Structure 1
């Protein structure tokens, strides 16, 4: 069981501030740069995590068409060739330059609505090095987890949100992280929070009796 301090750390920024947000609308995903088989894996992982959260997915967002966009590519410069991407991501050219200089493997940008809830998410993954060697199932489930909430800067820097079952080799979402996601989407919880007391409310919900997880409740990949 996670402590309140550990939960708070999941949503803390480098400057010590607390910043939490969940989706305030159904998620309409679109994936670029993958084969059909990988596309099924990515969408399956998204569906599993969204189901765990008790949230909804949809085919189309009325404002943006797609509000969760995942881009898979080999080189950051490829982003500069994507039509109209500069309208979605401000200052795209200098951003790409910074990511190249940092040799970054991924970048994620969020938009928020008037209530502070997530309105859109844009995830960019450079498929080279260690990132390219990850199994598709692991990559997909990790991205689904990271898109469903605004985690802190170092939330998963030392410990992955996933675990591997020794008996079957299946990759699963760690139960404590699954619990935090489910608690965050409790209908009595706010869509956004900037005070660390929110972590105490999440902790309180994790103390409530829970039903043992089923395949639907604990996202798993094989």
Structure 2
């Protein structure tokens, strides 16, 4: 269990100067995917529904306040972000952000909005489909972005401990799946007894305890 505690702390920034920060969705999840054809948008939508289902959350067609609150924008170049539907309204500093992302040669950017309790209220993910992304399986990208939108992870922590793996079943082609441990973490994070938002590092102990119980019960082995 101690290993789980340290792993959770790293995933939520406990080892960095910024300190531990945990947040999950507090209200309805209403996704929309912009910039892909119908097949690509459906794949991303299915990935979001999959991880939401693992968390025990339902996905809604419409959020009463925002219409959509889990937004994924896919583009070929960061300059296209300035013309993306509604994006300038969500990100008032968009021109400066585009400059920073272009200078850094970044291919993804994610930002969250929170409610008064510190829970996730909205998530916006920007993806620049560069050569690196084109080299990865589309289902891997979709499931990764879906998983990273369900909790507020520390960037360095999640870069070292990625939630999505490629797995082969029988003679089928490898496909993306949420790792069993990360599936258990996601379920633990959405336990109603866990606060929706917290900066208390001791929360890692409570999450690890729930993961340990799930492992003993054999829960989540086929997530």
Same-fold call, TM cutoff 0.5: yes
3-state SS, counterpart of residue 156 of structure 1? helix
Q: Which runs of no fewer than 5 residues in structure 2 stay unpaired?
A: none
Counterpart for residue 60 of structure 2: 58
Counterpart for residue 171 of structure 1: 176
CA distance in 1, matches of 2:146, 2:217: 23
Bigger relative CO (Cα 8 Å, ≥ 6 apart): 1
Counterpart for residue 31 of structure 2: 29
Counterpart for residue 197 of structure 1: 202
CA RMSD of aligned residues (A): 1.6
Q: Which runs of no fewer than 5 residues in structure 1 stay unpaired?
A: none
3-state SS, counterpart of residue 156 of structure 2? coil
Runs of 4 or more above 4 Å deviation = none
Aligned residue runs from structure 1 range 100-111, under 5 A: 100-111=102-113
Counterpart for residue 117 of structure 1: 119
Post-superposition CA distance 1:139-183 (Å, at most 9, x none): 110011000000012122134322222444232111111111110
Query: TM (normalized to structure 1)?
Result: 0.92
Higher helix share: 2
Would you say how many aligned residue pairs link Structure 1 and Structure 2?
216
| Structure 2 contact 24–196 (Cα < 8 Å) conserved | yes
Counterpart for residue 160 of structure 1: 162
CA distance in 1, matches of 2:86, 2:99: 18
CA distance in 2, matches of 1:146, 1:196: 20
